[in-house]
Amino acid sequence: MNANDQPTIPITDLRHRQPRFQGIESGHRACLGCGEALAARLVTEAAGPDVMIANATGCLEIFTTPWPESAWRLPWMHSLFENTGAIAAGMEAALKAQGKSTKVLAFGGDGGTFDIGFQSLSGMLERGHNVLYVCYDNEAYMNTGIQRSSSTPHAAITTTSPAGRERMGKRHLKKDILTIIASHHIPYAASASVAYPCDIRQKVRRAMEIEGPTFLLIHSPCPLGWGHDGALSIEVARLAVKTGLFPLIELERGELIGAMPLRDPRPVTEYLRLQQRFAHLFKDDPRARQELEHLQALAERNIEYYGLKGTQDDPRDSEGADTVRRGGQRWA
C-alpha cells in the first residue's frame, strides 16, 4: 500500500465534496489538538446551515477570525465577553420580527459563561429567548494566558492559582453551572464531551428542536492550558467522563432526566496523571495525597448524586457510546 500516491481528484475539490455540513473551515489558528475547535465544528455540523452565531470573546473567536480572514461558513458575529446572551437575544428578537425561523446559537468559553457573561446569559434564559447557548468548557482563561476561572477544577494549577507552600493549585471548587442554569427552569440543558461526538450531536439536535432557551456545556480539553500532548485530547476528555469528574447529564425544566452511565468507573488518578496542571498532586507530599482523595471524593459524589454507575452493559454507556463500526455506521 502506498500512502504517497498522487490524488486523482484535486484535494481542494474533495474538500468541497465532504458528506457533512462544515460550519468551520480549515486554516483556523487553534493550537494542535484543540478540543474547542473540534467541539465547535461538531456543534455546527449537527446544527446545520440555517443558524446565526453570536460568539463571546475567547479562543474560539480569536482563532477563527484573524482579520481579514474568517474560518466560519455561517453568519457569525463577535459579541463581547459580557454581553453574548444579550446580543443573541437581540438577534433572535430581530429575526422573529422579520418572521424568520433561523435559529440563533450563542458560543462562549467558560470565562465568558461562568464569570463575565453570566448576567446577560441569565437574562436571556429568564426572558425565554429561542437560543441555544453552547459553553465550550476548557476550565480556565486560556486565550489570555491560562488564568483561573470559576470553572477551573479544584486543585488545578493555572497562572493565577499556582501550587506552592500556601496552596495546592486552585483553592475553590468548580462552579456547578448546570444546576444554576437549570434553576432558570429552561426546557433543556445538558453537558457533553468531545470524547463522545455522537452524544454531542444528539444533544445539539435535541436542543435545535426545542422552541425556547437551551444550554449545552461541552468539556473541551486545552492541551496548552492543561499540559498534555495534543494527541491526547480525546483520551483526556474520555477519562474525565469515565472517572465521574465530568458527568454527562441532561436536565429538562430543571429536573435530571438522563445521565450517561459509567460501566466501569476509573480512579481519578488515571485522568489527573495525564495533565501537567495536576502534576503537583503526584509529588510525595501529604497535602497532595489529601487533594487526590478530595478529587476522588468529588467524583464519587457525582457518581452517587447523578446515579452514574450502570447496572448492566449498555450500548449507550461510557464504554458502549464510542464503539466503532466498519464504514462509520456509529455516526448514523
Under the rule (CB under 8 A), what is the footprint of other proteins? Answer: 1-3, 5, 7-9, 11, 14-15, 17-19, 22, 24-30, 32-35, 37-38, 41-42, 64-74, 197, 223, 229-235, 238, 313, 315, 319-320, 322-328, 330-331
Q: Which of 265, 193, 293 is nearest to 233 (CA)?
A: 193
Q: Which is nearer to other proteins, 174 or 228 (CB)?
A: 228
Specify burial of residue 90 (Cβ count, 10 A radius: 0-12, 13-18, 19+): middle
Q: Which is nearer to other proteins, 184 or 242 (CB)?
A: 242
Q: Are 278 and 288 in contact (CB under 8 A)?
A: no
CB of 53 to other proteins, least distance (A): 12
Q: Which is nearer to other proteins, 115 or 322 (CB)?
A: 322
Q: Are 113 and 56 in contact (CB under 8 A)?
A: yes
Please give the radius of gyration of the chain, using alpha carbons only, rounded to the nearest integer. Answer: 20
CB of 58 to other proteins, least distance (A): 16
Q: Are 246 and 199 in contact (CB under 8 A)?
A: no
Q: Which is nearer to other proteins, 15 or 171 (CB)?
A: 15
Specify burial of residue 330 (Cβ count, 10 A radius: 0-12, 13-18, 19+): middle
- Secondary structure (3-state) at 185: coil
Give the separation between CA 208 and CA 133, rounded to whole angstroms.
Answer: 11
Give the HSE-up count for residue 23: Cα atoms under 13 Å, Cβ half-sphere: 22
Q: Are 170 and 281 in contact (CB under 8 A)?
A: no
| Residue 201 amino acid letter | R
Give the separation between CA 90 and CA 316, rounded to whole angstroms.
Answer: 38
Q: Which is nearer to other proteins, 75 or 162 (CB)?
A: 75
Give the separation between CA 65 and CA 21, rounded to whole angstroms.
Answer: 19
CB of 101 to other proteins, least distance (A): 21
Q: Which is nearer to other proteins, 23 or 213 (CB)?
A: 23
Q: Which is nearer to other proteins, 14 or 257 (CB)?
A: 14
CA distances, 12 to each of 17, 66, 84, 200, 204 (Å): 9, 22, 35, 28, 29
CB of 305 to other proteins, least distance (A): 25
Q: Which is nearer to other proteins, 165 or 326 (CB)?
A: 326
